[in-house]
Chains A and B, each alone.
Chain A
Amino acid sequence: MNKLELEGTAHLLDELDKKLMVLLRDGRTLIGYLRSVDQFANLVLHRTIERIHVGKEYGDIPRGVFIVRGENVVLLGEIDEQKEAGLPLTEVSVDDILDAQRKEQEGKQEQQKLLSNALKERGVHMLHDLTHDDMF
């Protein structure tokens, strides 16, 4: 960090003890204080909450301490506390947001079904949700 040539670079060590939002590969969004990192960019998050967004609403599930394997992190960013206070989104309870999420998922699946049916009629075979493992 003292090297001049490293100026303009970012380092996870600069983010320690900050409130960060971490986006994981499976789509989850975690918000917590970064306490420790290692050479694989594994993260230790403290006072973590999992935030689920559905439309203009969101819900927080308190999770405690998280250890995230580095390869599963898509990106992370600092949270500005002041901006947090003035979010245009409304917070709802955990049950409500999970409900909303489920409904959203169902809606998407139905759409996909319709789409794949239509494509099948036109002779195009599309696998969507299934992985290779699911097939066998």
Chain B
Amino acid sequence: MANTFFGFDTLNDHEITYIGGEDVVDGRDGEESEYDALNDETFGGLGDSAVVDDWEQQHEQFAEIAENNKHIDHLENCISQLVCDDSDESISSDGDIFNSNNLLLSLKQSLSKELNLYDNNGPKNEKSVWKHEQSGPPPAQPGTNSQVPSKICTVEELERGLMQQKPMQFPPKYSGPMWPVQPPVQPPQHYPPGLYPIGKQLPPGFGLMIRPNMPPQPANIPPGFRMPMPAQNMMLRSNYLGQYLTHAPPPGKMMLYNMNYPSGMPRNNNNIQPPPPMLRHQQPSSPHLQQQQHQRLQHLHTTLSRSFDNILNDNSTMQKFIEMSRIPVKDEYDGLMTNREKQWLLNIQQIQLNTGTPYFDDYYYTVFKERKAKNNKDNHRNADRRFQRHNHRNNQQDRQDNALTSRVYTPLQFENSLGKLQCGSVTAPRKIIDMDVVTLEKDSESTPTRDTRKTKQLLLELEGLYNMLLKAEDLLNPVAIYNTDKLVQQKQKQRLRELDTASTPEQKQEILKLLQEESTSNPEKPSDYISKIMTAFLQDDKVASYLNIRKGKMLLLRVLPQILSDNRSRTELELWTKILTSLPIVGRRDTAGDNILPSFHPYFKRYIQACQIADILELVSGLVEVVRQENSRSTPLSHQAKSPLYFITANKFGVSALVTMFIRAEYLIYANEVSDKQKTEWINFVVNWADLIVSGRGNIARPIELIPRKAYERHTTRITTLTDEKKMLLEKHYVELV
């Protein structure tokens, strides 16, 4: 081993060692004869007589002071009598060191002696002043009485007292300015503010040994998590205690917490973290609240002790309790991130969230919130509970369904990816998937790909139309308007800032120009966009293709409310004509799948009811043409030699459209707004329609609304060419059963 450490001799056992490692003991013996005990080093320079005289003078001075202080000493003696002794005499039976009778009596005695010096009344006064003291321990006043004794004891004595107390007294009572509530039950122990048993490790069986008259503070946690708050404040004072304080109490609380919330352990673990941030939002309790808390405490107290007994009796729950009480052993490294740091992080993230324009920056969440709020408002207005329950149940079901459908995970696959994707491994962490374009020969292009290409092309076009629609809708959406205004303001501010920081005058000119442009932007109208959409929609034969795709139908559905029914524009007429003529192709698919077409009906109705007979006739004329074989290669066999009317009657929307037109035509004829020629035309159409039904080949759909009987009667009497049979059939399918 080393001969020396830090210069100390390790080899020999010496009582005294000198730095240098020399053996002084022997040296001392040798030098004793030469060593003069009364040398200058001991007593100072003898040659200086002033020093010698000084000590005599000083002694005189001290004696004077001592006599003066004698009186004070007496007081001190009295006070020192009040100091907590180790002896048991001063400690009362219940272990209360501050409220013991002896203590108070001695206090009274010493203070009364002092008072006697100034007061002539003597023993009488003594009695009156201290009368209530003699009756017993002081009444429970919020903290004040307990404060008095604590000030008198010195800190060391208190510590000694603490150590003597059972270490199982846990958690302590935080008697002090922080704890506003004074529980009615006097806990056996008072801890002065600022001190806390530094017990990191609780005995393992601790949870089972909570005494029946435990301090009710832990029970406060369900209401408000107050306990850790004083702990936190103390943490700020006592630095190194901080980490232990935040976690020493909670496990104890969790013990009781478990009994109230017998959920799994992870839940409890969670609760350690949220409470501290929550605490910041605790409001100071009012006296009323204190009262409530008193009651709550008492109630909880009783229920806790009862449930505790129940648990102890039951073996199985006992086991569970033991398991639950084996809390993740207190980690010394827990709480490395202080609450301040957490709050700092949260603030940063909240700042990131706080843009002035959430509609643009966080569209989906903003819209979701809006819809939810609207839903809630509607639900509140709807006194109908069934409706709410139904909705709620639906939502729950959806969630459940999503969770249950197990999906087989297939990793993402891409075709000709433009952006490089990363697919790292241990050996090559930054590997990139390098896609090589695989060019197939053009001849081998199969029909499925052609179809998919077509669909993709259509989808692309629809996307473009949707963008315009969204812009049009945003012009009418108040949230969007607000956000755009804000965005404009932000931009202007930025430009101004740039203007300030711009160095050259040319730059300034540029910025000024931009500023002017932006501020005088032309207000856009939604109708501009809508007309653009309609033009695109109605070109060629796109209507049929768009309506074949769900997205197209939805687009139309959203555009229709915005179309101003202006009878002078032919757009709407064209639109409806095209829709109806596309029904043969679109109708079947829609009935089998999406069923969106019937929702067009209200718009059609709105249009027709503003129509004149001429428009209706135009609409109708296109429907009767029979598709001939020469027309196009793409008509399937089933469509040949059949008029669109055939398919229209088979479709719910189609038949509803016919009914609507029927009603309107009857009205117009009745109102004498129809010329004879037009009337004939219309009647021809109706006959055609009836013929079709009679031939009875296709399925006949049920219209959304039926023809009122009166109107039907009137109309059919006008039509002389209708046979009874046809009349019967028409009646059967389309007329109200009044």
Using CB atoms and an 8 Å cutoff, list the residues of chain A in contact with chain B. 1-2, 5, 13-14, 16-18, 25-28, 33, 35-39, 44, 46, 78, 80-81, 105, 124-127, 129, 131-132
Contacts and interface: CB of A to CB of B under 8 A. Distances in A.
B342 interface: yes
Interface in B433-447: 434, 436, 438
B660 to A, nearest CB: 45
Q: At the interface, is chain A mostly helix, strand, loop or mixed?
A: loop
A2 B426 CA distance: 40
B273 A14 contact: yes
Contacts of B331: 17, 33
Given A36-B341, A105-B427, 8 more contacts: A13-B273, A26-B425, A26-B426, A27-B424, A33-B331, A38-B345, A46-B333, A78-B266
Interface string B396-425: 000000000000000000000000001011
Q: At the interface, is chain B mostly helix, strand, loop or mixed?
A: loop
A35 B429 contact: no
A80 to B, nearest CB: 8
By size class, the interface of chain B is 35 or more
Nearest to B247: A17
Contacts, number: 73
A2 B337 contact: no
B627 interface: no
B93 to A, nearest CB: 44
B434 A132 contact: yes
A132 to B, nearest CB: 7
Contacts of B434: 127, 132
B270 interface: yes
A117 B651 CA distance: 58
Contacts of A27: 424-426
A1 B431 CA distance: 38
A94 to B, nearest CB: 15
Contacts of B422: 25
A6 B430 CA distance: 35
Contacts of B430: 131
Nearest to A82: B265
Nearest to A109: B427
Contact of B432 (A36, A39, A80, A131): A131
A105 B425 CA distance: 10
Given A27-B425, A33-B331, A36-B336, A132 B349 contact: no
Contacts of A44: 336
Contact of B429 (A25, A39, A125): A25
10 contacts: A1-B346, A16-B337, A25-B422, A26-B424, A38-B345, A39-B345, A39-B348, A81-B328, A124-B436, A132-B432
B277 interface: yes
A80 B334 CA distance: 18
A124 B438 contact: yes
B222 interface: no
A37 B345 contact: yes
B269 interface: yes
A13 B346 contact: yes
Contacts of A126: 436
A110 to B, nearest CB: 14
Given A2-B278, A37-B345, A18 B333 contact: no
Contact of B281 (A2, A13, A25): A2
A25 B345 contact: no
B426 A28 contact: yes
A12 to B, nearest CB: 9
A15 B278 CA distance: 17
Contacts of A78: 266
Contact of B342 (A13, A80, A125): A13
B369 A35 contact: no
A17 B266 CA distance: 12
A5 B341 CA distance: 23
Contacts of B278: 2
Contact of B333 (A25, A26, A33, A125): A33
B65 interface: no
A134 to B, nearest CB: 8
B234 to A, nearest CB: 21
A100 to B, nearest CB: 14
Contact of B369 (A5, A37, A127): A5
A35 B333 contact: yes
A36 B272 CA distance: 16
B369 A39 contact: no
Contacts of A132: 432, 434
Nearest to A134: B428
A36 B340 CA distance: 13
